[in-house]
Amino acid sequence: MASSSWQNATTEIHAGYSPTGEHRPMTVPIYNTAAYQFPDYATAARLFSLKEPGFTYSRTGNPTVAVLEERAAALEGGIGAIATATGQAAVALSLLALLQGPNHLVASNKLYGGTVDLLTDTFADFGITVTFVDPEDPANWAAAITEKTRGFLLESVSNPLATLVDLRVITDLAHAAGIPVVVDNTLATPAACRPIEFGADIVVHSATKALSGHGSVLGGLIIDAGTFDFTDAARWPQIAGPKARYGGDLLLGRYGAKAYLMLARSKFLHDLGPTLSAASASSILTGIETLSLRVAKAQANVLELVKALGGHPAVARVHHPSVPTHQDHELAKEYFPNGTGCVFSFDLVDAAAVPQLVDSLKLFALAANIGDARSLIVHPAAMTHCRLNDEQLAAAGIAPGTLRLSVGLEDAGDLVDDLITGLDGLGRNNTSETVANAPRTSINA
Ligand SMILES: Cc1ncc(COP(=O)(O)O)c(C=O)c1O
């Protein structure tokens, strides 16, 4: 069940499910099964040949997970979606379905650190080349295109600095060059921005974050707008060319606009296996029911914190596009009328004070996650982005004194008190180790 006339607050609660069966359960049942019994041999053969839709084995599809997929597609305005075990898997699969062997990706240089690891290390092992560009100037994207370019990747709101891009301009120039644009919409969520409306072809999410909102499961989503033209078989042999795996058929011929999703599911999800469990899908669905409400509350808290931090002498800069002097202030007004989500960063005047501030906080927990109901803080240079070299950190705008906040749903006054008390105390009773000695080894999130 879904209606294109619904506003997101309705879609969050109803899309993809209506009570059915003998008991008509109000919430989506958890189909805790690995496999499905076929009524007869002929049905099994048809389903396995992928010529008829249906569940064969839960690695590639499950009824609970399917509700989440339908709901996510409805929220983002896509034609379908694939859920994955993590956001990292969603980013990887979405790109692997576009990039083959020696192909090339143009990526923003302002990305979550785990995505940078994937692109610079694992993709390099696969023979995929990546050019990182400063995403804020569309000319950089155009200049980086080569004969082999098969994708653009960017974050609608970047992690950790909450920078923005002129999405419509970038998608227009990508399409003119026959290139699809993948947008990681994790920080914004569809409650704040729907990138497909601005030309994005594929939207990915870490559903671990604000979509869930409770920090208790990991998950990812790939949503396809279904509008990109994959018909050129020389450029897209995996979609528009004959494949032995599909009995010599073309995915495009068999599945039309859903060919890309079919490739991602029947090849990459099937072969690599990063499948979301039904229990996790249920947990994410419960979270999504309150998405719009939570995003609005977090945004109100963010604005209070931005105001309080901006006036503090220990703070060198607040990286938030609501600040009138921020380079993306106008883009924020155009693309994000409801705010940019719960994540932003600020720089301390004295980077050596990072450990003391972090250790003094009572409400902001030192935890490598975002989008939780609880407020969280990380030191990107030592934690989430610790494998970026100095040049990459500088390009991403991450300074030694940059701290990222994920603003939760607590009372705004209590959050402001916590941070301002910590900042006021800097320089007093400083027994923590200095930033220079802080570890740079922790593995992500
Ligand atoms: C923007 C963004 N994309 C992707 C990921 C990866 O998601 P996950 O941790 O669910 O694998 C993260 C994780 O922090 C993220 O912030």
pLDDT digits (tens, 9 = 90+) for 129-150: 999 999 999 999 999 999 999 9
Q: How confident is the model at residue 396 (pLDDT cuts 50, 70, 90)?
A: confident
Q: Are 263 and 236 in contact (CB under 8 A)?
A: no
Cα-based distances in Å from 22 to 19, 52, 288:
9, 26, 26
Region(s) of the chain under CATH 3.40.640.10: 9-288
Spacing, Cα 146 to ligand 1 middle (Å) = 28
Q: Residues, the chain, total? A: 445
Instruction: Provide the pLDDT for residue 441.
Output: 36
Beta bridge partners of 104: 129, 149
SS3 state at 225: coil
Catalytic positions, written as ranges: 59, 112, 184, 209
Instruction: Provide the pLDDT for residue 155.
Output: 98
Pocket of ligand 1 contains residue 218 by CB under 6 Å: yes
Q: Are 403 and 358 in contact (CB under 8 A)?
A: yes
Q: Are 351 and 399 in contact (CB under 8 A)?
A: yes
Instruction: Provide the pLDDT for residue 160.
Output: 94
SS3 state at 259: helix
What rounded mean pLDDT belongs to the chain? 94
- Tracing tokens 């300074």 back to the chain, one arrives at 399
**Residues 6 or more apart whose Cβ sits within 8 Å of residue 118:** 88, 91, 92
Q: How confident is the model at residue 437 (pLDDT cuts 50, 70, 90)?
A: very low
* Type and span of the H or E element at 230: none
Spacing, Cα 424 to ligand 1 middle (Å) = 32
Please state the atom number of ligand 1 nearest to the C-alpha of residue 209. Answer: 10
Q: Among 86, 88, 122, which residue has the most ligand 1 atoms within 8 Å of its CB, making it the best to mutate?
A: 88
Q: How confident is the model at residue 96 (pLDDT cuts 50, 70, 90)?
A: very high
Spacing, Cα 159 to ligand 1 middle (Å) = 9
- Rounded to two decimals, the pTM is 0.95
- pLDDT over 60 at 111, yes or no: yes
Pocket of ligand 1 contains residue 87 by CB under 6 Å: yes
Pocket of ligand 1 contains residue 220 by CB under 6 Å: yes
How far apart (Å, rounded) are the C-alpha atoms in residues 376 and 363? 8
Helices (H) and strands (E) counted in the chain, each on its own, are 18, 12
Region(s) of the chain under CATH 3.90.1150.10: 292-437
Q: Among 93, 108, 115, 442, which residue has the most ligand 1 atoms within 8 Å of its CB, making it the best to mutate?
A: 115
Classify domain 9-288 at the CATH topology level: Aspartate Aminotransferase; domain 2 (3.40.640)
Q: Are 108 and 133 in contact (CB under 8 A)?
A: yes
DSSP-derived secondary structure for 111-133:
--HHHHHIIIIIHHHTT-EEEEE
Given CATH 3.40.1190.20, say whether it is the number of domain 292-437: no
Please state the atom number of ligand 1 nearest to the C-alpha of residue 91. Answer: 4
Q: What is the pLDDT of residues 251-304, one digit of tens each?
A: 999 999 999 999 999 999 999 999 999 999 999 999 999 999 999 999 999 999
- pLDDT over 60 at 440, yes or no: no
How far apart (Å, rounded) are the C-alpha atoms in residues 383 and 255? 42
